[in-house]
Structure 1
């Protein structure tokens, strides 16, 4: 009888711990990046690994924002210049900007072997560091999530990488 009660107590404690872990995992966390002069939040659950900007093999007859392909840990990834994708008028980066640039891969669960060029990493952010948030502007792309403002007054735009990777404009790399 005591063994049954002990087992039941153990099951209850495990269920409570599992619920606590799931609640903590559900809280929003992002990788904060700089793209051009804009601040973006990439959901950690949709982001993959971070790499220094490496040799990128150019692919002919592609959109200007498609930088080419890169070998990252033995896998081939299409490389998208996020700044040029969102702003086709954006110019090329100078050498100093290229030295700071990083590649952020999309999470393998999204099913897209893609890396995004970002200008700088700004660290990790949790929802608690922002003092306000608003819905994306009415004319914003579908992959824009909420807009946040931190305590220093900096505006941050959330990017839903899953929606981004599913847009037809993102998938059509041919020129």
Structure 2
């Protein structure tokens, strides 16, 4: 007999089956690099709302102590020890020539790149804003001046239902940019 808070057995089996199907889809998406359902991680980088493809990120960790590395660019914050691995920390806002993030340290997070990208680094995010569905957003029109100056890795823009503007960051393209690979002065 089931208690008032426990759903009946057929309903539990149905939920379990749905969960198994979703898990299988996610595993297949991870293997193929496809983005099932168009889910992205919403983050605040500098003063800009950004979307990151879930298949391109490894994990989200609280801000760790970062050891500066001499003779590097101002956007290269240094090295952090994340689970025993030395990981380069990148301030993407500074990389783009914008103001550095001024959110409270307690809200900042490091978002590591997926191992498949072959680049051991993490982005400094002011806040993690949760999952966003691209299906719930519409592609934003970008004026010609913005489109011309924007690198390919941040060329897609979206507007959500509240009218906020989001920039989609393609980490796979970012790690192929020659300037990004040259952290030294």
TM category (shorter chain) comes to 0.7 to 0.9
Report what 1:86 is aligned to: 96
How far apart in 2 are the matches of 1:54 and 1:144? 26
Superposed CA deviations along residues 132-152 of structure 1, whole A, max 9, x for unmatched, are: 445782321121142100000
Counterpart of 2:121 in structure 1 is 114
Aligned partner of 2:170 in structure 1 is 160
Distance 1:98 1:124, change over 3 A: same
Q: Secondary structure at the match of 1:143?
A: helix
Given that residues 132 and 150 in structure 1 are in contact (C-alpha distance below 8 angstroms), is that contact kept between their aligned partners in structure 2?
no
Q: How does 1:20-39 map to 2 (within 5 A)?
A: 21=25, 25-39=35-49
With over 3 angstroms needed to count, the CA separation of the structure-2 counterparts of 1:105 and 1:92, relative to structure 1, is closer
Offset, 1:98: 2.2
8 Å CA contact 2:110, 2:124 repeated in 1? yes
Indicate conservation of the 8 Å contact 1:58/1:68, yes or no: yes
Gapped runs of 5+ residues in structure 2? 1-20
Greater Rg over alpha carbons, structure: 1
The alignment's TM-score, normalised by the length of structure 1, stands at 0.80
Q: Secondary structure at the match of 1:76?
A: strand
Task: Report whether the alignment pairs 1:103 with 2:110.
Answer: yes
Tell me the equivalent position of 1:11. Answer: none
Q: How many residues align?
A: 154
Q: Is the 8 A contact 1:134 1:146 kept in 2?
A: no
Task: Name the SS of the counterpart of 2:131 in structure 1.
Answer: strand
Normalising to structure 2: TM-score of the pair? 0.76
**Runs of at least 5 residues in structure 1 that lack an aligned partner in the other structure:** 1-16
Query: Which residue does the alignment assign to 1:40?
Result: 50
**How far apart are the structure 1 equivalents of 2:69 and 2:127?**
25
More strand by share: 1
